[in-house]
A = this chain, B = another copy of it.
Amino acid sequence: MASAINLLDKFTGFHETWSPRVIAEMNDYQFKVVRIHGEFVWHRHDDTDEVFLVVEGRMTIELRDGIVHLAAGEMYVVPKGVEHRPVARSECKVLLVEPRGVVNTGDAGGAYTAPNDVWI
């Protein structure tokens, strides 16, 4: 039976930060919800743009030559190959849109690297 996907409801099912959960697929792209809090690692995705859409809270996306402030209902497309660092002073709920298979830490790897393709 076809039914709506409620973004905030999906967040009730997990509490880890920096650990995206897939909620939907559109062709070979995935929609993921992620809780972010604190400072992530600088990284880039050499093969794809990446969309951040804030569902609740506030975050910033630091770029080497600027900074993007995002509140609920706001989005930003990080261009392919551009280094960025997501930061949130308080926990922020975010919807990501990107191709299936994109790893959260991109080229950087390290401790923040989350398992990929985990559905909720």
Contact = CB atoms under 8 A, between A and B. Distances in A.
Interface of A: 1-8, 24-27, 29, 31, 48-51, 55, 61, 63, 66-71, 73-77, 80, 97-99
Contacts of A75: 4-5, 7, 24, 31
A26 B30 CA distance: 12
B73 A55 contact: yes
Contact of A73 (B8, B48, B51, B99): B8
B77 A51 contact: no
A83 B1 CA distance: 15
B26 A97 contact: yes
Contacts of A31: 51, 75
